[in-house]
Amino acid sequence: MELIDGNQIAADIIAELKASVAALPGRKPCIALVRVGEDPASISYVTKKQKTSAEIGIESRLILPPVTITQDALFALIDGLNTDPTVDGILVQSPLPKGMNEVAVFRRIAAHKDVDGFHVLNLGKLAQEDTTGFTACTPAGIMELLKRSGVKLAGKHVVVLGRSLIVGKPVALLAMARTEWANATVTVCHSQTANLPAITRQADVLIAAIGKAEFVTADMVKPGAVVIDVGMNRVPDASKKSGFRLTGDVHFPTVSPLCSKITPVPGGVGPMTVALLMTNTVKAHRQNSASAR
C-alpha cells in the first residue's frame, strides 16, 4: 500500500507556480478573498489561502464585509470586483450567513474570474471539455493527485461516491473526459443507490466524497483499488486536546491494507484544493491579460 502524499504534491505545484509567476512581466496575479462573518473554519481556510498566495507571489486582497451585509450589498461588492481590471480571481468563502442564496452569490461572480469553478458557464465548459473554463479546485486536485501518482484512468472503472456540484459531478466529468490521464468508465453513486457495496467493489479507483465519517468500510473495496478520500469530518475524541479528531469518508485502518494507493486524511486531498485555486488564479491572470491586449 502506497500513501498518496497530498502535502508533497501540493508543495510541488506551489513551487512550479512560484517559478511561473516570477517570470511574468508586469502586474502579478491578484485574487480577491471575500469572507462574510467570523466562522472559525472560514477564517482558517482564508488565512491558508492568503499564506499560499504570498508564497507564490500572488497578491491577495482580503475583503471582510460584516455578517449583517444584505445579499444586494454583497452583489454590489462582487460587481465592483468583476469590473476591477486589477483583480483576476474572486473567491467568496462559504458558508455564507443563513438566509443568503449561495448559488446566486457564486453565479454573480464573472465567469472569467470564477477561480472556484462554480459558475454555470464554467460547469458548462467542463461538460464540453473546453479548457478555457475553470474547474472546481477539489476535483481538479483529485485529478492531479492521480496523474502525479502515475494512475492512468483509461479503461479503468472509477466509482464516485457523492453527486455534489462541488466534487461528485465535476470529478465524474473529469474522469471520463477525452484526455491523456482520463478516459475512465464512471459510475456515480449517492444516497439513493441500491446495492452500494456491490458497485463500489467494482471500482479500480474509488473516490469517496459523501460527507459521512468512515462510511467506506473494507467490505466495499476491491483488493488493489486506488482510494481517494475527499471527506473531512470532525469526530469526537476525548484523547485529543481539541476534543475531536479529523477523519475522512473512508475507515482508514481497515481499508488501507487492501489498497494499492490511498490518500490520508488530513494530508491528502485537502492541500490540493488550495494549490489548484492558485493554479486557477494564475490561469485567470494569463487569460485576462491576453483578452486585454
By annotation, the residues acting in catalysis are 49, 93, 116
Cα(139)–Cα(272) distance, integer angstroms: 9
Which residues contact residue 13 at a Cβ distance below 8 angstroms, ignoring those fewer than 6 apart? Answer: 144, 272, 275, 276, 278, 279
Q: Which of 63, 66, 71 is nearest to 92 (CA)?
A: 63
Strands (E), the chain: 2-3, 30-34, 59-63, 89-92, 157-161, 185-189, 205-208, 226-229, 233-236, 244-247, 261-262
Measure CA 10 to chain center.
Answer: 12
At 160, list the grid cell.
Answer: 464516485
DSSP string, 40-65: HHHHHHHHHHHHHHHHHT-EEEEE--
